[in-house]
Copies of this chain bind each other. A is one copy, B any other.
Amino acid sequence: MGKGGWIMVTMVDVADRAGVSLGTVSRYLNGYNLREYNQKKVKEAIRELDFNPNIMGKALRQKQSLTLGVLLYDWTDIFGMSITKAFGEVVEQSHYSLIMCHAEGDLKRRRQKIQFLRDRCVDGLVVFPILWEGCEDLLQKFLDERIPVVMMDGWFEGLTTDRVSVENASASLRAVEMLIHANHKKIAVINGSRTETVAQERLSGYREALRLYRIPVREDLVTYGNYNCAEAYQITKELLSLPDPPTALFVANYYMTLGAIMALNEMNVRIPDDLSLIGFDHFELSDVIKPPLTVIEQPVEEMGQAAAALILRRIHGDYQNFPQERRINTRMLIRDSVRVL
């Protein structure tokens, strides 16, 4: 057992070296006023000893862990990770670190993950609700203990939390509207899933656009790819094999957009000549694909930052206008994947 132990320089060491008391060192570190002479002494001692405050002592005393939990879909999901990254950048400035949990495995496994966060005494929680349904009771426990929870990109019914999400309905409305303006009438959509809030909103925008322009909805053009690349690939093939195939396609997520592109490439369907396409999300591959795709860009950084601001406020006890819902607008990147008929 060679266990344990960093060689620690403690505040006592600093105090000794500086010839002041422990309390004075603490006050120095926490930005209180010291006599100038002592201030200098302590500063010097800290430098000489290369002192770093031990976060666990602090955490124990203050009953905070300086740790935040993030419940997301998967660690390899670029959308969730981009948001989480921006979130992490901000909270790191306040000395918080992140514990991320992915949703792989069965419900029992996922509930264990949440328990892991409780054991770790996270001071706050960000939840991407997709795939974390069935854990509402556990999340409620955090709320009961006044540990702030922010729902990111969706929500659960019956759980009163702050929320951050994008204006999904208006985003897809604008996308479909643009296709309509280009004289498309047979517009297919590959949507996320039937059951979850974000996908429902995106679909409602699609329907609303068609309604506005008095185009009847063709239910055979409304499909669900479950945010899955391979499913979208398959669906795209089916859509184009329809007796009366669409002239335009709206895809409601990055990975599904890639799947659609792969299918189109394979079928030698050219964009935008044979099919107009608007995708969702703007990540690396969106720039490499030719022609450059017209996409709805979700402001992932802003989303992460908004969640960070919100959760830090709550942690500091500021519960003004709770629960708050931050709706962030998307940007449409207009490029070359839509053809005017």
Contacts and interface: CB of A to CB of B under 8 A. Distances in A.
A119 B1 contact: no
Contacts of A7: 145
A158 interface: no
B81 A76 contact: yes
Contacts of A315: 3
Interface residues of A, number: 64
A21 interface: no
Contacts of A57: 60
A4 interface: yes
Nearest to A113: B92
26 contacts: A2-B319, A5-B64, A5-B146, A6-B63, A6-B121, A6-B145, A7-B145, A54-B121, A55-B121, A57-B60, A75-B85, A75-B88, A76-B81, A76-B82, A81-B81, A85-B102, A97-B99, A229-B284, A230-B284, A233-B288, A258-B285, A258-B288, A262-B288, A265-B265, A265-B290, A266-B290
Q: Give 4 closest A-B pairs by Cβ, nearest first.
A: A2-B317, A266-B290, A5-B63, A75-B85
Interface of A: 1-8, 52-57, 59-60, 62-65, 67, 75-76, 78, 81-82, 84-85, 88, 92, 95, 97-100, 102, 116, 118-121, 145-147, 229-230, 233, 255, 258-259, 262, 265-266, 283-285, 287-290, 315-317, 319
